[in-house]
Amino acid sequence: MLKDQKLIKVLKFLFGMREMALVLVLLVIGVIMTTISPVFLSPLNLRAILMALSVEAPITVGMVILLVSGGLDLSVGSTLAFTGVVTAMALNAGLPATVSILIGLLAALGVGLVNGLLVAKVGINPFITTLGMMTTVRGLLLVLAGGRAVLNLPRSFTVIGQGKLFGVQYPIYVMLFVVIVGDVLMRNSRFFRQNYYIGSNEKAARLTGINVDLVKIFDFCLVAFLSGVAGLLITARFGSASLTVGSGLELKVITAAIIGGASLSGGEGSVFGAFLGALLIAILANALNLMGVDVFWQTLVTGLILITAVVIDVVNERRKRGQK
Amino acid sequence: MEIILEAKNISKSFPGVLAVENVSLTLGKGEILALIGENGAGKSTLIQVLGGVQKMDSGQIILEGQPVVFASSNQAIRAGISVIFQELSLVDGLSIAENIFANRQPVGVLDNIDWRRLYQQTQELLEKFNLDLNPKSLVKSLTMGQKQILEILKAISINSKVLILDEPTSALTEGETKYLFKNIRMLREQGMSFIYITHKLSEVFQIADRIMVMRDGKKIGTNPVEKVSENDLISMMVGRNIENLYGARKNAFSESETILSVEGLNRRNVFEEVSFKLRKGEILGFAGLIGAGRTEVGRSVVGIDPKDSGRINLDNKEVRINNPKDAIIHKIAYLTENRKVDGLFEGMALCDNIIAPLLENFTSAIGFLDSNQINQYADRRIGEFDITTTSIIKKVMYLSGGNQQKVLVAMWMGIQPRVIIFDDPTRGVDVGSKAEIYQILRDSAARGTGIIMISSELPELIGVCDRILVFYHGRIMGEVLRQDFSEESIMALAAGIVNAKRSQSTSSARQQ
C-alpha cells in the first residue's frame, strides 16, 4: 500500500516533468509513423533527421542555458554564418584547416563577448543588444565577403562536415557530445547551476555571492561558440560559406528550448528538454514529409506545438497554485 | 450605530482546505474594524469573498440592508465595496489624475480624453481631502504612503462605502503611516467604513474601533479596542499563550570584545561619517526613518552598494569588502529587508534556496554538486528552523510568509556567520514565526555572533536589542542604551531632534 503510493508519487513526478511528456509524445509519433511508413525507421531516414538536427541542436544547448539565466540571444544565426565566412576566407587565403577553424571560432567568441559585455557590464537589455548584433554581424559578414558566397573549400576542411565514423556523419557525434555534456553540466555542475539562481532572482543571486556578470558573459560566449561550431559544420558540409545561412534560426532555436520547458522569464529549463523540443520539431517535419504533406504545413504545426506546450505550462502552474 | 455591512455565516473552501468556516461580521458606518490573524487564518479569503474576488460556498452578504451577491470584483466595487490589496494597482509612469480615473477618464465626443476636466476633477478630489499634490505629477515620484492614499482616493472616487485595506502599512515608514492614519481617521469622520487587515498589533490600537481575530478559518472573537491588550490578541491569534514575544534576554555579550567596528564610513549623498562598534554576542539596533541611512549603511558594509571611504574592522583587523562574496568569506551575513526582491529564489526548490550561499561547500573536485549531501543538509536545516513544508523540493513561492522568512534565515545561518545584519527581520511574518525568529537571533547571539537588527518597528527594536543607534539624514544621530529605551527617545532622534540624550561614543561621529 505504502509502496504503491510511493510509486504513484514517483510516476506523478516523472510525468510532471516536461522531458517525460516529450519522450512519450515522440514515442507515440514514432509508433504511428512506423506503421504508416516503412521508411521512417530506416537508418537512412534516421540519419537524415539527425543531420537536420545537428545544426540547431548545439545552438539550442547554448540557448537554453542562456534562457535559464534570464538571457536571450537573437544573434546566433548571424554568428553561425559569420563563423563560416571567416573560416572560409581564411582557408582561401591559404591557411591550414586547423588554424582557419580556430580563427572562425575566435570570431564567434568575439561576438559572444561583445553581447556579454553589453548586457552584463553596460546593462543593455539582452533582446535589444542581440537584436542589434544580429544585424550588425550579418552586415559585417556581407561586407567581408563582398556580397558573395565563399566557394571551393579544401577537402581538409570539408571532411569535418562530410566524413563518417561507423557510417554516421561527424556532425551527429558533435551534436550528441554537446547535448550530453551540456545536460550533465546543467544538472550537476556548480558553475552551471548558478544560471538557475540568476534566472530565478538576479538580485538575490548577487547577494549570495554569485558572480552574476561573469556567468552572463560566459553564457553569451558559450552560445556564440556553439553557433560557431554549427557554422563550421554546415559550411564544411556544403563545401561553401553561404551569406544567408542561419537566417531565422534564432527563433527556431528559442522555440525548441521553450517547447522543452524553458521560460522567457528565466529560472527554468533543461538541456535535455530543449534537445527533445528540437527533436520533436525535426521528427514532425520529417513525418509530414514522408506522408507527402505540403511543406507549408510544417511551419503551421511547429507554431501549434509551441503554443500547446506553453498553454500546458500555464495550466499546470495554475493548478499547482490552486492546490496551495 | 448604523450597520453598513453585514456578513452572515460565510464559508469558503478550496480543494483540501476549509479556508473560511462560518464567519460572521458586522461593520458600522464610520467604523474601523481591524481584522487580524496569522498567515493562513483565512483573512485574505474572507476579504476576497467580501470584495467579489472569490465566490463563497455559503453565507450571505448584506450591504445597507440589502442582500447582495457578487460575481466579480467589478460588481462589488460598483455596489460600494473596494478592496485595496498589498500589491498596489497604480501605474508608475502615468499621472496621479490618470491613475485615480483609470479607464474612467472624462472623454470628449471622439473618445478623446478631456485633460482639462480630468485634472480639474482630480484637483477637486485632492482638495477635498486636503492633499497637497499636483494631479499632473507622475505616480513614480510619490512616496509609498502617498501611493496608498492615492489607492484610497481612487476607491472613494468610485463612490465606495466600504474600504478594505490589506496590510496598507507593510512598506510604509513611521511618518508615512502617520500620514495614512490621519487621512483614514478623517475619512471615518465623513462616514467611510473600513476593514483594516494588519500584522502590526501596535497599529490596531492606534486606528481601530473594534478588533476581530481569526484563526484556522474561524472567527475567534471581536472586541472593542479598549477591552483587549496586545497579549490577549496574540494569545487569540496563536491559540496558545506566548509569554514573551521577543524572547528572554541573556545578556550574553561581553563589554570588551568588539567583533565588528566601522570607522568613518562615507557614501556621497547617502550617509556621512558613520562609525560604530558591535560587540560579540550583542544585538545592536539600527533605527531611523526609511531613507535615513540605516539600510544603506548595512548594504555598504557587506559590499552590496559601494562606499567612498571608511574602514571596516573585523576582530580589530581591517578587512576589504567590495562585494557580497567578500562579506560571505568573512562570515558576515546580510539578510535583506525584502525577501521577494533580493532575498529568495521564489521559483526554485526549498533545498536549492537553503544552499544558495554555500554552493562551494557541496561541490566535488570536478565541480559537480553532491545532491545526496545537499538533501541531507536541507532536511537537517528544515528541522532545525522548524520550516513547515511538504517536501524539500517545494518551490519557495508556495510557502507562507513566516516560513519564507525562516528559509532566508536558514540560508544565511548556513555560512556560520560571525556577524549578522538583518534588515526588517519580521516583515510580513506571522506572530508565531516572529517569536521563533527572535529566538533564533537570541540563540545565535548567545553563541557569540554579533547582530545588527535594522527595523522600522520600535516595539521590536526595544524588545530585542541591547543598544540602538538612531539614524537621521545619513548620520548616526544618537545612541540609546537599554536603560533609556522608549519609543519617545528613539522617535525624537529619528526626527532629528538633537536635545535627546546622546552618548560620548557617537557624538564624535557627528562633528562636521
More confident residue, B156 or B32: B32
CA-atom Rg of chain B in angstroms: 25
Q: Do A206 and B411 touch (CB under 8 A)?
A: no
Give the rounded distance of the alpha carbon of B431 from its chain centre.
Answer: 13
Cα–Cα distance measured from residue B49 to residue B12, given in angstroms and rounded to the nearest whole number? 8
- Residue B250, pLDDT score: 66
Find the mean pLDDT for residues B135-156: 82
What is the band of B18 on the pLDDT scale with cuts at 50, 70, 90?
confident
Torsion, CA A299, CA A302, CA A306, CA A312, rounded to 10: 130
**What are the residue boundaries of the structural domains of chain B, listed by start?**
3-93+138-238, 258-510
Whether B356 and A208 lie within 8 Å, measured CB to CB: yes
First to last CA, chain A: 26
CATH 1.10.3470 fits A39-312, yes or no: yes
Q: Kindly report the nearest CA distance between residue A324 and chain B, in angstroms.
A: 7
Please tell me the least confidently modeled range out of A227-241, B164-178, B200-214, B478-492: B164-178
Residue B503, pLDDT score: 44
Closest among A56, A59, A71 to A217, alpha carbons compared: A71
> A268: which chain B residues are within 8 Å (Cβ-Cβ)?
347
Q: Which residues of A touch B356 (CB under 8 A)?
A: 197, 204-205, 208
Average pLDDT over residues B38-44: 79
Which grid cell is A203?
A: 538580485
Asked if B362's CB is within 8 angstroms of A201's CB, the reply is no
Q: List CB contacts (< 8 A) between A68 and chain B.
A: none
Which chain B residues contact residue A323 at CB under 8 A? 15-16
- Residue A200 has its nearest CB partner, among B348, B357, B398, at B348
Report which residue type is found at B258: T
pLDDT tens string B422-451:
998 888 787 778 888 998 999 999 888 999
pLDDT exceeds cutoff 80 at B243: no
pLDDT, position A320: 61
Q: What is the pLDDT of residue A321?
A: 58
Low-confidence residues in chain A, pLDDT < 70: 1-16, 317, 319-324
Closest in A189, A193, A204 to B342, CB measured: A204
What grid cell was written down for A20? 517525460
- Shortest alpha-carbon distance between residue B324 and chain A (Å): 5
Q: How confident is the model at residue B511 (pLDDT cuts 50, 70, 90)?
A: very low
Q: Tell whether B342 is within 8 A of chain A (Cβ).
A: yes
CA B462 and chain centroid, separation: 17
Would you state the pLDDT for residue B314? 92
Nearest to B367 among A189, A200, A211 (CB): A189
3-class SS at A69? coil
For the sheet containing B17-28, what is the strand order?
Answer: B17-28, B3-14, B58-63, B66-68
Let me know if the fold of B3-93+138-238 is the same as that of B258-510.
Answer: yes
Task: Assign a CATH topology to domain B3-93+138-238.
Answer: Rossmann fold (3.40.50)
B502 pLDDT more than 70: no
For B258-510, CATH number out of 3.30.70.270, 3.40.50.300, 1.10.10.10, 3.40.50.720 equals 3.40.50.300
Contact partners, residue B109, CB within 8 Å, separation at least 6? none
Q: CB pairs below 8 Å between A and B: how many? A: 78
Give residue-wise pLDDT tens across range B97-139: 888 887 677 777 777 778 888 898 889 888 877 778 888 888 8
Instruction: Write out the DSSP string of A177-199.
Output: HHHHHHHHHHHHBHHHHHHHHHH
Chain B CB contacts of A203 below 8 Å = 341-342
Of B330, B331, B333, B263, the C-alpha closest to B298 is B333
| pLDDT score for B364 | 87
For all residues of chain B together, what is the average pLDDT? 85
Interface test with B, best of A184, A200, A203 (most B CBs within 10 A): A200
Q: Which three cell numbers stand for residue A310?
A: 506553453
Q: Which residue of A has its CA nearest to B330?
A: A209
pLDDT tens, position by position, A213-244: 999 999 999 999 999 999 999 999 888 888 88
The reply to whether B423 touches chain A by the CB within 8 Å rule is no
Report pLDDT digits (tens) over A250-285: 988 998 998 888 888 888 889 999 999 999 888 888
pLDDT for B285-343, tens place per residue? 999 887 788 999 999 999 999 999 999 999 989 999 999 999 999 999 999 988 888 88
Task: Give me the residue spans of the domains in chain A.
Answer: 39-312
- Please list every residue in chain A whose beta carbon sits closer than 8 Å to the beta carbon of residue B327: 209
Is A191 close to B360, i.e. CB distance below 8 A? no
Who contacts B322 (Cβ-Cβ below 8 Å, separation ≥6)?
B303
- Give the pairing type, strands B81-84 and B162-166: parallel
